[in-house]
């Protein structure tokens, strides 16, 4: 009886250790790629490992899988990390510029920038989970990520709200950032996305 009561606590501790480990690996491999080149493949590797943890109960060599995913995604993942950051930056600057003007046409452009930013943000929520789950081309990844967000708006809002909450907690407790700064949000996004893509895959199999 006591053993059964301890199981949930042991599971929580296990996940905390997993997240701390994956976060440290993410930091190390991001630095290994001089940050600029290491950020995206390290993030993709973290999502891949979290996906395996969530989908399978079997143990696997985390470091080896992380390293393999890092090498495998080193080139391909670059377009999903820094291009996203650049596009978000451009849209934000466009919004600041257009909103500073008083004419109607600039108001329209400002509204367009906001809509595009929202759509991009919705796609970003799913882009790495989708990237590590499917094998598609560059534009198909973005299309698929945005489609999931548009078809499941309530789940997307809940997912974003959860990620923002985790981020707010971590900012309030900065001492946790080296251990959970990336991994906590990665696990949350992976878990939420897997619930959706599993249903999508089941529907595809039923139709086919």
CA separation, residue 194 to residues 107, 178, 181, 191, 199 (Å): 39, 26, 21, 5, 8
CA-CA-CA-CA torsion for 171, 173, 179, 182, nearest 10 degrees? Answer: -20
Domains in the chain: boundaries: 2-207
Contact 20, 183 (CB under 8 A): yes
Its pTM stands at 0.86
Contact between 22 and 64 under an 8 Å Cβ cutoff? The reply is: no
pLDDT digit string, tens, across residues 155-183: 998 999 999 999 999 999 999 999 999 99
Q: Is residue 190 a contact partner of residue 50, using CB atoms and an 8 Å limit?
A: yes
Largest CA distance in the chain: 71
Q: What is the mean pLDDT of residues 36-47?
A: 94
């Amino acid at each position: 009886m006591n053993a059964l009561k301890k199981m949930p606590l042991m599971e929580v501790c296990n996940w905390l250790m997993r997240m701390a480990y994956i976060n440290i690996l993410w930091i190390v491999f991001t630095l290994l790629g001089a940050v600029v080149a290491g950020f995206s493949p390290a993030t993709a590797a973290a999502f891949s490992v979290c996906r395996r943890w969530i989908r399978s109960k079997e143990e696997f060599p985390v470091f080896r899988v992380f390293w393999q995913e890092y090498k495998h995604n080193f080139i391909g993942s670059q377009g999903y990390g820094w291009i996203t950051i650049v596009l978000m930056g451009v849209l934000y600057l466009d919004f600041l510029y257009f909103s500073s003007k008083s004419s109607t046409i600039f108001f329209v452009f400002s509204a367009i920038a906001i809509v595009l930013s929202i759509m991009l943000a919705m796609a970003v929520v799913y882009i790495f989970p989708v990237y590590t789950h499917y094998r598609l081309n560059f534009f198909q990844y973005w299309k698929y990520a945005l489609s999931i967000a548009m078809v499941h708006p309530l789940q997307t809002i809940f997912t974003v709200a959860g990620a923002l909450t985790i981020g707010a907690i971590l900012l309030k407790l900065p001492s946790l950032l080296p251990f959970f700064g990336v991994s906590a949000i990665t696990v949350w996004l992976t878990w939420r996305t897997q619930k959706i893509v599993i249903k999508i895959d089941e529907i595809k199999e039923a139709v086919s």
